[in-house]
Amino acid sequence: MGSIERRKRDQAALRGRILDAARTLFAQSGYEAVTMRRIAGLIDYSPTTIYLHFRDKDALIRELCSEDFLSLAAQFRAARGREEPLERIQAIGQAFLGFALSHPNHYRAMFLAAHPPVPADQRRIERGNLEEDAWAILVSAVAEAQEAGSLRRDLGNAEELAQQFFAGIHGVASLHLVLAEDPWIGWAPVESAGQRMIEALLRGFAPPPAGAPVPGRRP
């Protein structure tokens, strides 16, 4: 390996360490409490070194947002091989929970730590691109299930139903990450709780058998 390639590799490795340190601190302390100096201290570098890679904390958040949501989209893409839309939605739900369990600091920084919103035009993700946009992958699967008659339309459009589905799985994931060690509640295993949540949501969103009353609708 030549000196230029080695330098690029070392720079990429350091950039990764900076992002990992930022995730950890954002997840632990929240966006406002974290400074570039604290991030540098966590990996034993000077703040000057951090600024060579990221102009400021907002630039760090923009990169984290792009990198982590691209990683989530990669998990969701595997579900697109399922033939049935409901199977795809179920696989996406399982992938979402699996991402939270295997990347807890990523998940906390993405969904549990408050930070300034990152404008769409400042992300490395094309909105609506089914190769890059995790949200679009879920909404597309819900839309296909509604088109196939597998999910109700009276509960909302595909975007609205996707939000409800997301809220249910996020609830299981976030409760586990925040309160799993709390002995007050006898928590069910998170994997089985997540699967039951997915099944309950899809059952609730499914149209009733022909002739049966629609739940939530007055006769």
Using one digit for the tens of pLDDT, what is the confidence trace for 55-84?
A: 998 899 889 989 999 999 999 998 877 889
3-20 pLDDT per residue, tens: 778 888 888 899 999 999
Residue with the bigger pLDDT between 121 and 35: it is: 35
**CATH code (residue 31):** 1.10.10.60
What pLDDT band is residue 214 in, cutting at 50, 70 and 90?
low
The residue range of the domain holding 13 is 1-54
Final residue belonging to a domain, choices 12, 32, 54:
54
Residue 114 lies in a domain: yes
Residue 59 lies in a domain: no
**Together in a domain, 141 and 164:** yes
pTM of the model: 0.86
What pLDDT band is residue 216 in, cutting at 50, 70 and 90?
low
The DSSP code sequence of the chain is --HHHHHHHHHHHHHHHHHHHHHHHHHHH-TTT--HHHHHHHTT--HHHHHHH-SSHHHHHHHHHHHHHHHHHHHHHGGGG-SSHHHHHHHHHHHHHHHHHH-HHHHIIIIIS--PPPPGGGSSS-TT-TTT-HHHHHHHHHHHHHHTTSS-STT--HHHHHHHHHHHHHHHHHHHHHHTT-TTS-PPPHHHHHHHHHHHHHHHHSPPPTTSPPTT---
Instruction: Please determine, for residue 21, whether its predicted confidence score (pLDDT) is greater than 90.
Output: yes
The CA distance from 134 to 125, in Å, is 10
Residue 211 lies in a domain: no
**Together in a domain, 87 and 47:** no
134-159 pLDDT per residue, tens: 999 999 999 999 999 999 999 999 99
Total count of domains within the chain = 2
Residue 210 lies in a domain: no
Is residue 169 within 8 Å of residue 194, measured between CB atoms? yes
**CATH code (residue 82):** 1.10.357.10
